[in-house]
Amino acid sequence: MNATGRLVEEYAADLSAALHGPAKAKARLVDEIRDGLVDTAAAHAEGGLPEEEAARQAVREFGSVGELAPSCQRELTVAQARHTARAVTLTAPFLIGCWYLARTAGHDLTAYLPRTAQLLAVHLASVATGAALLAAATLAATGSLARRLPTPRRLPLVVAWAGTTASGSMAAATLALALAAALAADWPLLAFAGALAAAAHATVATSARACRRCARLPVARVPE
């Protein structure tokens, strides 16, 4: 590897280590910056600078990793918020569907868990519905509408905690459905619903945890 390639790869590796967000989005962003550095260094080399000095000049023009990371992190934080919002939007209906299965398959449970099960179902379904609506609004605010309206600075953190709340509801649904399956005669259907709730919980919890981490990182402010 020549001097330009070595310096560029070191810079790209340091930048990648400093950034957090969806893996594909981060890799694409780092690749774009790597290509930009290579092109800038090549332009300086064509202008007469030695190869290594041309690479160092390109790095100076781009700025240090500490200077560049906040602006890159802002883009990745929004991408992670969209990832979490998409996960909630796609999985929250499963929670409502699970309780529908429990209601249609678990008529024999009314003798055991009449009021408790109904209240829990209502609360969990309400949380899932609210989280799904917020997630859908987030996708709109960070999508095509973002070209005309600025993305609220605290939106990623709000999405992160909404996802955390939704994943907690899915965990509670998993436990409730497991209990219902133990009491119901038609337990395979309820066990299947519980498995769906558990899978939804795992998906949303992982994404929400990553979103909370991104939301706490320093990002560059967008000029008003």
Q: Please state, for a pLDDT cut of 70, what percent of the chain lies above it.
A: 75
Contacts 24+ apart (CB under 8 A), 215-223: 215/77, 215/81, 215/156, 215/157, 215/160, 216/157, 217/20, 217/73, 217/77, 218/70, 218/73, 219/70, 219/71, 219/73, 219/74, 219/77, 220/70, 220/71, 220/73, 220/74, 221/153, 222/74, 222/150, 222/151
Q: What is the pLDDT of residue 32?
A: 95
Q: pLDDT tens-digit profile of 28-66?
A: 999 999 999 999 999 998 988 888 899 899 999 999 999
Q: What is the rounded distance in angstroms from the CA atom of residue 198 to the CA atom of residue 201? A: 5
Mean pLDDT score of the chain, rounded to an integer? 79
Q: pLDDT tens-digit profile of 66-104?
A: 999 998 998 899 889 889 988 888 887 777 776 666 666
Rg of the Cα trace of the chain?
24
Supply φ then ψ for residue 153, to 5 degrees.
-65, -35
Q: What is the pLDDT of residue 155?
A: 82
Q: What is the pLDDT of residue 224?
A: 45
Q: What is the rounded distance in angstroms from the CA atom of residue 167 to the CA atom of residue 218? A: 26
Q: pLDDT tens-digit profile of 163-217?
A: 888 888 888 777 777 776 676 666 777 777 778 788 888 888 999 999 999 988 8
Q: Give the residue, 87 or 109, on which the prediction is more confident.
A: 87
DSSP 112: T
Q: What is the pLDDT of residue 101?
A: 64
